[in-house]
Amino acid sequence: MATTTLHPAAATYKSGLYEWLTTTDHKKIGIMYVVNSFIFFFIGGLLALGVRAELAQPGLQFLTDEHLYNQVFTMHATVMIFLFIIPMLAGFGNYIVPLQIGAPDMAFPRINAMSLWMLPLAGVILLSGFLLGGTAAAGWTSYPPLSEDRILASTGPGQDLWITALILIGTSSILGSINFLVTIFKMRAPGMTLFRMPIMVWTVLVTSVLVMMATPVITSALIMLFIDRNLGGHFFDPSTGGNAVLYQNVFWFYSHPAVYVMVLPAMGMISEILPTFSRKPLFGYKAFVFATAGIGALGFSVWAHHMFTTGAVFLPFFSLMTFLIAVPTGVKMFNWIFTLVRGQLTFSTPLLFALGFLSMFLIGGINGAFSASVPVDYALHDTYWVVAHLHYVLFGGSAFGVFAGLYYWFPKMTGRMLDETLGKIQFVLMFIGFNLTFFPMHVLGLQGMPRRIADYASGAGWNDLNLAATVGGFLIAASMLPFLWNVFVSLRSGKIAGDDPWEGNTLEWATSSPPPPYNFDRLPEIRSERPVFDQRHGHGAGGHK
């Protein structure tokens, strides 16, 4: 912490545009993943504000063209899921995983660069629909027959652009996951056994298995939809011998595991941050690893809980599996809390966001159990309750985790600290805005407000809660201003971080900030899952329990 100048390695990050565009360095690629994902986060956020502006009060005021409204919420979800959360977490994985296992880079650096550059391309293809007569408008799930090419459904190029973009993103994810798996299996430093890997690495490992096994399945569904739309195929259109529910089965076979893809790495980040700021190891490391693997395995057997109301799935099995997934999730929750218990907590911004994750993900997890109960799901499915639930998981969970991770690793990435005061302002605004937006949606859903409607009757009793949600949405948007200002200012004149500003546990804190292109000049001895802690305090310091 005594350092007053940036590490000389920082110079390589000031290199020219061409260098960034052609780099195969996992750290630069990771940073570009993060930047790219933030760009799409803001695009997706603006689209969300469009939806909230329209729903603020009854009547059509803002997106008066309802077809455009459908495009806007479809793009909001597609962008947030496929171009923000998934790539954002892949980006952190890209940056962190090789550092945490003591490797000089990913196993396939050039494939890594290719995975990255497919994403902005896919984003441009996806959103170009706005200029080409309309984007996809059938929801991010794009259920046929609504997504088929026919009148009153999805004519025009938007749906095909959506399919193309998703196949590209899927391919990027698959290549990325293989890269992660080979890196983790083959490139760990000497002494870094599987059960000494940081939890972040474990979560990326399980996530990668999910991506590798599940993404090709949605690719097949997308291709079938494309064939239906463009080549006269008959997969999903019942009027020509197809099966509409088939698409849902194939789609959710991917998209439910995708939920864990979207949250497991965030859990991994939280599991790095909580021990650091409580000065204790993660409580129940092995249980946590098995819980992560358990979530991954169960994740493949719960997809049809999105289809309880179709009347076409075997309800008891999927209900049971969905309930069971609460068990490993609960194990993790208690592991996190008992990491705090008897610790010495320092309330830096990363910890605040991590605690935000804990308390919000708790709600998202518990209200998920409601939908596991089939009869209760009959009441809640496709209402705003579900919108609330998924945002508590993906925003309250994943997005809070992303900000926790960003505040935590920004010093490593740039060599400079983010400003704590601005960070805390952002946290408070975002936390309040988030709850103001999404908590009322539980009530709206219980009262019967369906998803994906542009308007509602003013007599339905939904006015106040919708207005509250809209105000909350704009508050979330406002919370991004201190964040952007923080990044801008800190990049120029933030406090110099030094190698290890937080007294971290894992190997990334053993090298300079930012690390040199080859990552490590020398590695500490790896005798536990906390090699840098061992180096600082001595192996076994503080007593072993």
Partner 1 sequence: MTADSHALTTAEHSPIAGLAHDARGGISNPILGMLLFITSEVMFFAGLFGAYFSARAQNTPWPPEEFAHTLNPLSLILVATVILVLSSVTCQMAVNAIRRDDRAGFLRNMSVTVILGIAFLLMQAYDYLLLADEGLTLNAGSFGTTYYTLTGFHGAHVFGGVLMLSVILYRGMAGQFSSRHHDAVEAASLYWHFVDVVWIVLFSVLYLL
Partner 2 sequence: MSSSPRPRSASDLILIAILVVTMGALIIGALATGFMDGMFPPEAVTRQGREIRSLYDIVFWIAAVIFVFVEVLIVYSVLRYRRKPGQDELPVQTHGHNVLEVIWTVVPTVIVAYLFVISLQTLNSIDAVAKSPDIHIRAVAQQFRWQFDYLAEDGVTTLFTEDVATSDQGGGMHVPVGANVQLQLTSPDVIHAFYVPKFLFKRDVVPGITNRFDFTIDPAEAGQTFRGQCAELCGTGHRVMLLDVVAMTPADYEAWKAAKIEQAGATPAPSASAGPVAVTLEETAAGIKFTTKSLEVTADQAFAIDFKNEDPASVPHDVDIRAADGSVLADQPTIDGGTATTYTYAALPAGTYTFICSVHPFPDMTGTLTVK
Q: For residues 291 and 149, give the distance between their C-alpha atoms in angstroms, rounded to a whole number.
A: 43
Q: CB within 8 A of 442, min separation 6: which ones? A: 367, 384, 385, 388
CB of 231 to partner 1, least distance (A): 5
DSSP 282: P
Interacting partner of 358 out of partner 1, partner 2, none (Cβ under 5 to 8 A depending on kind): partner 2
Q: Return the number of the residue (255 or 437) whose C-beta is nearest partner 1.
A: 255
Interacting partner of 331 out of partner 2, partner 1, none (Cβ under 5 to 8 A depending on kind): partner 2
CB of 140 to partner 2, least distance (A): 10
Interacting partner of 280 out of partner 2, partner 1, none (Cβ under 5 to 8 A depending on kind): partner 2
Interacting partner of 383 out of partner 1, partner 2, none (Cβ under 5 to 8 A depending on kind): partner 2
Q: CB within 8 A of 117, min separation 6: which ones? A: none
Q: Return the number of the residue (73 or 251) whose C-beta is nearest partner 1.
A: 251
Contact indicator for 30, 95 with CB cutoff of 8 Å: yes
Q: For residues 130 and 124, give the distance between their C-alpha atoms in angstroms, rounded to a whole number.
A: 10
Q: Which pair of structure tokens corresponds to residue 242?
A: 């197809």
CB atoms within 10 A of CB 236: 25
- Interface residues with partner 1 (CB under 8 A)? 12, 15, 19, 23-25, 102-105, 107-109, 174, 177-179, 181-182, 185-190, 212-221, 223-224, 227-228, 231-235, 240-243, 246, 249-250, 253, 516-518, 520, 523
Q: Return the number of the residue (244 or 302) whose C-beta is nearest partner 1.
A: 244
Q: Which pair of structure tokens corresponds to residue 537?
A: 């305090």
DSSP 10: G
Q: For residues 221 and 252, give the distance between their C-alpha atoms in angstroms, rounded to a whole number.
A: 10
Q: Return the number of the residue (417 or 454) whose C-beta is nearest partner 2.
A: 454
Q: Which pair of structure tokens corresponds to residue 382?
A: 């496709």
- Paired strand residues for 374: none
Q: Which pair of structure tokens corresponds to residue 170?
A: 């899927």
Q: For residues 153 and 145, give the distance between their C-alpha atoms in angstroms, rounded to a whole number.
A: 7
CB of 460 to partner 1, least distance (A): 39
CB of 527 to partner 1, least distance (A): 15
CB of 242 to partner 2, least distance (A): 8
CB of 45 to partner 2, least distance (A): 22
Q: Which pair of structure tokens corresponds to residue 280?
A: 């204790």
Q: Return the number of the residue (1 or 541) whose C-beta is nearest partner 2.
A: 541
Interacting partner of 345 out of partner 2, partner 1, none (Cβ under 5 to 8 A depending on kind): partner 2
CB of 264 to partner 2, least distance (A): 19
CB of 531 to partner 1, least distance (A): 13
Q: For residues 267 and 269, give the distance between their C-alpha atoms in angstroms, rounded to a whole number.
A: 5
Q: Quick one: how far is CA 81 from the chain centroid?
A: 7
Sequence letter at residue 516 = P
Q: Return the number of the residue (58 or 191) whose C-beta is nearest partner 2.
A: 58
Q: Return the number of the residue (39 or 246) whose C-beta is nearest partner 1.
A: 246
Q: Return the number of the residue (237 or 419) whose C-beta is nearest partner 2.
A: 237
Rounded to 5 degrees, φ, ψ at 376 are -65, -35
Interacting partner of 120 out of partner 1, partner 2, none (Cβ under 5 to 8 A depending on kind): none
